[in-house]
Structure 1
């Protein structure tokens, strides 16, 4: 019997893509901790710190092949890098940091947890995507999981006034919208690339985002002028460097690799790992075990991902996992 080499290759691509998605989620979950670690700094200052170091690290890594990469980049590539960096990096992290500081990690994780549902619904219209009807079990499990997290947040809300909670909720909603636009736009941009590697695309985005974040420094000096001790600034620098290296460099590299291996409908489900790891880090930070509702949410979210993987292994799977 002749082995199905095409099916075996497709299965390996899917498994490698899922592994990259899990790794990216584990690293991206760290960004939820940064606003808590540097809670005395504003979301704007946290954003500037993170992306300035992201740009510096990217420039240092790309330095040996800078001229060759620049020569390959087109005008449309620079435009895409600019709006993706602004929308998916700067706007997203300002809003996410504000949501964590005002509403807490649980509420923020709830809202960001809807990312897989939103991205999967958008990706279901792409050519070669798994039909939406086969994704409903996964989507329903995902919704059930984030509702469990939401009920837990309502039952034991973070300390603060109702006004702060509402502002935090609005920031989380804005972060959700920003990341949906970024996830869809970046996945489609990567699938169109044939002259720039995934790693170089990530580094170029770091350089562009770092340059854009420098434009925010005068704004920060004018409106975030609260004095801080040198030790506090050192802590902000350490947190910013760690998030830039782990989340922005390594996490984005894994995510971009995954985006070329998986269809957009499955890419949406991989975002669930960011929510899972963010909650796990939150439990470790607060030195407590998850409640019953939080444990149920973990189970439902994992079941959602496994259900989506099963949907992509059906008859339409070989076509669905081919790059667009």
Structure 2
């Protein structure tokens, strides 16, 4: 296995480990809605990015061009604001169970769409690992949804879930392609520019949700000086800087060299790390269904890594033979 592939896998795992914190931090903020927590997260992410943009303005100014901002705003919408906006609306209309089940397909859709766009490997070769991961995700969903009562069929809610799924799937593939075609943008700089663009989109995010779900976000509650406000903004700092900014930097590093078909499969690591953190916080071991689901997902990812390694070695040997 090449050093480039190994380092990219490590970067992806670090991103997954960081993103997994998003599973447990909101549980500390029971007095705040999911939308308010998301607002705090992306607000801090945006402010932090703007500060870095000012600090490194000379370096970034040389890279700025009109077309770059179009991509930055598009990625900020599809990967952050738009994705979560449609997910929240879906949960409101359909319930968390169906919405989470559909969004849980992200590793599958990203791997398939990425391979379709980039023509990296034969779909027949990728199918076994993708199928194993799908089975693992299904098992984990069965464990999560056991006893849920908020499931309700709503075609508009399902449609919003599918839009959220498509937005992030497209973002993952398009972002990886952009970074490969624009090497002058380092993972750190691009994460910063995306964060600044996310901040610019925040007013639209708040306005739409205030109209559709007035009780979902109360700005006054996030500004009241009390004991809870320190916990809220402390958590927002963790989510905004560590989860969003640092997580995106490492994901951008992974996207630079990792085949998108494999990177897509590795996004499931976020769920595995998130569940692991949850078990640690709850001071419990996973039940048998959760354990089987996690082990199945891990096996699927390892199988995918092994498949990609073999395919890369085969391709390298074929290129050498042609050159000879």
**Counterpart pick for 1:91 among 63, 69, 82:** 82
Cα distance change on mapping 1:279 and 1:209 into 2, 3 Å: same
Q: Counterpart of 1:25?
A: 16
Asked if structure 1 preserves the Cα contact closer than 8 Å seen for 2:262 and 2:305, the reply is yes
* TM-superposed deviation, 1:68: 3.4
**Counterpart pick for 1:157 among 147, 157, 160:** 147
* TM-superposed deviation, 1:232: 3.0
Q: Tell whether 2:60 aligns with 1:69.
A: yes
**Counterpart pick for 1:311 among 282, 307, 320:** 307
Alpha-carbon displacement from aligned partner over 1:157-194 (angstroms, at most 9, x marks no partner): 34x54449999877655543332121112111111113
Of residues 109-118 and 307-316 in structure 1, the stretch that sits farther from structure 2 once superposed is 109-118
Task: Give the Cα separation in 2 of the matches to 1:96 and 1:30.
Answer: 19
Q: Please, what is the CA RMSD of the aligned residues?
A: 3.0
Cα distance change on mapping 1:302 and 1:231 into 2, 3 Å: same
Of residues 73-82 and 14-23 in structure 1, the stretch that sits farther from structure 2 once superposed is 73-82
Q: Counterpart of 1:208?
A: 197
Task: Give the Cα separation in 2 of the matches to 1:109 and 1:278.
Answer: 14
In structure 1, runs of 5+ residues without a counterpart are 1-9
Of residues 272-281 and 311-320 in structure 1, the stretch that sits farther from structure 2 once superposed is 311-320
Cα distance change on mapping 1:266 and 1:162 into 2, 3 Å: closer
Q: Counterpart of 2:319?
A: none
Asked if structure 2 preserves the Cα contact closer than 8 Å seen for 1:52 and 1:214, the reply is no
**Counterpart pick for 1:199 among 179, 183, 188:** 188
Alpha-carbon displacement from aligned partner over 1:55-91 (angstroms, at most 9, x marks no partner): 1211223323214313312211100110110111112
**Counterpart pick for 1:129 among 120, 135, 139:** 120
* TM-superposed deviation, 1:243: 0.5
Q: Counterpart of 2:322?
A: none
Query: Under a length normalisation based on structure 2, what TM-score does the superposition of the two structures give?
Result: 0.83
In structure 2, runs of 5+ residues without a counterpart are 317-324
Task: Give the Cα separation in 1 of the matches to 2:206 and 2:151.
Answer: 31
Q: Counterpart of 2:320?
A: none
Of residues 255-264 and 184-193 in structure 1, the stretch that sits farther from structure 2 once superposed is 184-193
**Counterpart pick for 1:241 among 218, 225, 237:** 237
Task: Give the Cα separation in 1 of the matches to 2:156 and 2:29.
Answer: 20
* TM-superposed deviation, 1:119: 1.0
Of residues 189-198 and 208-217 in structure 1, the stretch that sits farther from structure 2 once superposed is 208-217
Cα distance change on mapping 1:151 and 1:286 into 2, 3 Å: same
Counterpart secondary structure, 2:116: coil
